[in-house]
Amino acid sequence: MTTILLVDDNPANRELLREILELDSYEVHEAEDGANAVRLYKELNPDLTILDLQMPGLDGFQTLAAILESDREALVIAVTAFAMRGDRERALDAGFRDYITKPVEMTHLRNRIRELLA
């Protein structure tokens, strides 16, 4: 079964995304902050991570950097509600495989996940 690590400090966002991802038969694990995401990533070695950029403590970029230290090939998608000009390029340059704005367009996310996992 394909494992996805879902990282977002907002419980409602995690619940909505988890429910939709589970409909596609993904095994979803959740983290509410960057520190827990790094710990869970090392424990689970998920096939893909969906990572919110705006979190207290470690933000998405710091969390990605910690994940990439242990796994240079990690598949991580950035999600954010506060998109600014240049953020997409900054995220892709940092090593994110895609950059998706909130509210998440689920068809796009589902298609992108399938492409990355193919």
Nearest Cα to Cα of residue 71 among 52, 50, 44: 44
Confidence of residue 115 (pLDDT cuts 50, 70, 90): very high
pTM here is: 0.95
Q: What is the CATH number of domain 3-117?
A: 3.40.50.2300
**pLDDT (average), residues 30-34:** 97
**Per-domain residue ranges for the chain?**
3-117
Cα separation values, 117 from 33, 46, 58, 79, 112, Å:
24, 11, 26, 18, 9
Place of tokens 């879902």: 6
User: Can you read off the two tokens belonging to residue 28?
Assistant: 């979803």
**pLDDT (average), residues 97-106:** 92
